[in-house]
Amino acid sequence: MGATLLSVRGITVRFGGIVALDGVSFDVERGQISGLIGPNGAGKTTLFNVVTRLYAPDEGELELDGRSLLQTPPHRIVERGIARTFQNINLFRSMSVLENVLVGAHTRGRSVGAGDALAMLEYVGLADRASMPAAALPYGVQKRVELARALIARPRLLLLDEPAGGLNHEEVEELGDFILGLRRDHDLTVLLVEHHMSLVMRISDHVNVLSFGRRIAGGTPDEVRANPDVIEAYLGGD
């Protein structure tokens, strides 16, 4: 704990005339749950797409464990210890739950078989649905399959893009406890993009706030909640 795992330094991303990220800098400390919030279009998903190397930034530097990420091609990002889930469910609908989890098994120098995938499904409470087609499952359960697929790669840094989207109140509570358990059991660092404020504020150690591509605040949940700039940009409208 304490050392920086991910360092985001002056990241700028432009899409034609749109500046999606404008010189964004922040650190994510090892072992932390780090929330990333901001209004629609603030640049949160774009930041995930930069960290996972889907987009190359126009400016800036990214480091994981003190080593540049920008030299790492997208297909090697998992080997560097980064896994993600997506805002919109991204499962192979006709494949079984187990097969979907195995798709995530491009690991760092260790082979993963069906036994590992089953153990992961057990961990997320889905062992009894391993052979079902993913599309047959309720939405909230499909989101857990996505989590299992990300976790099977044994990441050090897990990027969660709106994991609470579409979940009911009880499922959001369970998700929060699950993420806290992940950090405890798996020594994971989590970067969490989420619009569900009570979830972010409950489980995050640190929260960064983006607005129109700029980082306008960062601090503990209590500090961020009390920040007038944040209230004006975002929480005021919540």
Widest Cα–Cα separation across the chain: 51
> Applying CB under 6 A, does 176 fall inside the site for ligand ATP?
no
Three-state SS string across 16-70, please?
Answer: CCEEEEEEEEEEEECCCEEEEECCCCCCHHHHHHHHCCCCCCCEEEEEECCEECC
Measured distance CA(9)–CA(7) in Å, rounded: 6
* DSSP symbol at 137: S
**Are 192 and 172 a contacting pair, CB within 8 Å?**
no
Which of 20, 105 has the CB closer to ligand ATP?
20
| Contact pattern from residue 46 through residue 75 relative to ligand ATP, giving x for each residue in contact according to CB under 6 A and a dash for the rest | x-----------------------------
Smallest gap from Cβ 187 to ligand ATP, in A, equals 27
SS3 161: strand
Beta carbon of residue 162, minimum distance to ligand ATP (angstroms, whole number): 7
How many residues bind to ligand ATP according to rule CB under 6 A? 12
Q: Give the contact letters, 7-46, x = binds to ligand ATP (CB under 6 A), - = no.
A: --------x--x-x-----------------x-xxxxxxx
Which residues are near ligand ATP by CB under 6 A?
A: 15, 18, 20, 38, 40-46, 87
